[in-house]
Structure 1
Amino acid sequence: MFSKIAIRNFSSTAASAYKVTVLGAAGGIGQPLSLLLKLNHKVTDLSLYDLRLAKGVAADLSHIPTNSTVHGFTAEDDGLAKALKDADVVLIPAGVPRKPGMTRDDLFNTNASIVRDLAKSVAENAPKAAVLIISNPVNSTVPIVREVLKSKGVFNPKKLFGVTTLDTLRANRFLSEVVDTDPAEESVTVVGGHSGITIVPLISQTPYNTRISKEKYDALIHRIQFGGDEVVKAKDGAGSATLSMAQAGARFAGSVLSGLAGEQDVVEATYIDSPLFKDQGIEFFASKVTLGPEGVKEVHELGLLSDGEEALVATAKETLKKNIAKGVDFVKANP
Structure 2
Amino acid sequence: MFKVTVCGAAGGIGQPLSLLLKLNEDITDLALYDLVNAPGVAADLSHINTPSKVTSYLGADQLPGALMGANLVIIPAGVPRKPGMTRDDLFKINAGIIRDLATAAATHCPKAFMLIISNPVNSTVPIVAEVFASKGVYDPKRIFGITTLDVVRASRFVTDIKAGSVNPVTTRVPIVGGHSGPTIVPLLSQIQPHQSFTQEEIEALTKRIQYGGDEVVKAKDGAGSATLSMAQAGARFAKAVITAALHGATGIVEPTFVDLDADATNGAAIRAEIQGLQHFALPVELGKDGVERIHSIGSISDYEKQLLSGAVSELKGSIQKGVDFVRASL
In the alignment, structure 1 residue 41 sits paired with structure 2 residue 34: no
Query: 1:229 corresponds to which residue?
Result: 214
**CA distance in structure 2 between the partners assigned to 1:189 and 1:105 by the alignment:** 30
CA distance in 2, matches of 1:143, 1:182: 35
Displacement of 1:303: 1.4
Percent of aligned pairs with the same amino acid: 59
User: How far does residue 101 in structure 1 lie from its aligned partner after superposition?
Assistant: 10
Please state whether the residue corresponding to 1:158 is helix, strand or coil. helix
Structure 1 partner of 2:308: 313
Letter in 2 for 1:39: L
In the alignment, structure 1 residue 94 sits paired with structure 2 residue 77? yes
TM-score normalized with structure 1 length: 0.91
Give the alignment partner of residue 128 of structure 1, picking from 99, 111, 116.
Answer: 111
Shift of 1:94: 0.2
Q: Does the CA contact (< 8 Å) of 1:149 and 1:155 recur in 2?
A: yes
**Paired AA for residue 328 in structure 1:** V
In the alignment, structure 1 residue 109 sits paired with structure 2 residue 95: no
Partner of 1:283: 278
**Corresponding residue to 2:186 among 165, 189, 201:** 201
Classify the secondary structure of the residue corresponding to 1:34: helix
Looking at structure 2, the residues matched to 208 and 252 of structure 1 have their Cα atoms a distance apart, in angstroms, of 21
Distance in 2, Cα, partners of 1:99 & 1:233: 15
Give matches, 1:131-150, under 5 Å.
131-150=114-133
Q: For residue 176 of structure 1, what is the aligned residue in structure 2? A: 159
Matched-pair contact (CA < 8 Å) for 1:179–1:208: no
For structure 2, list consecutive stretches of 5 or more residues without a partner in the other structure.
Answer: 261-266
Query: Structure 1: which 5+ runs fail to align?
Result: 1-16
Partner of 1:265: 251
Q: What's the secondary structure of 2:140's corresponding residue?
A: coil
CA displacement at 1:96 relative to structure 2: 1.1
Question: C-alpha root-mean-square deviation of aligned residues, in Å?
Answer: 1.8
Q: How many residues align?
A: 318
Match of 2:264 in 1: none
1:333 matched residue in structure 2? 328
Q: Tell me the CA shift for residue 103 of structure 1.
A: 9.1
Aligned-partner SS, 1:149? helix
CA pair 207-47 structure 1, distance change in 2 beyond 3 A: closer
Q: 1:206 deviation in Å? A: 2.0
How much does 1:97 deviate?
2.3
Q: Which amino acid aligns with 2:200?
A: E
From the superposition, tell whether residues 242 and 154 of structure 1 become closer, same or farther in structure 2 (CA, over 3 Å): same
Distance 1:105 1:226, change over 3 A: farther
**Cα gap change, 1:116 to 1:191, in 2 (>3 Å):** same
Which of 135, 160, 183 is the matching residue for 2:143?
Answer: 160
Compute the TM-score of the two structures, normalised by the length of structure 2.
0.92
Asked whether the equivalents of residues 107 and 136 of structure 1 are also in contact (C-alpha less than 8 Å), the reply is no
Q: How does 1:236-275 map to 2 (within 5 A)?
A: 236-261=221-246, 262-274=248-260, 275=267
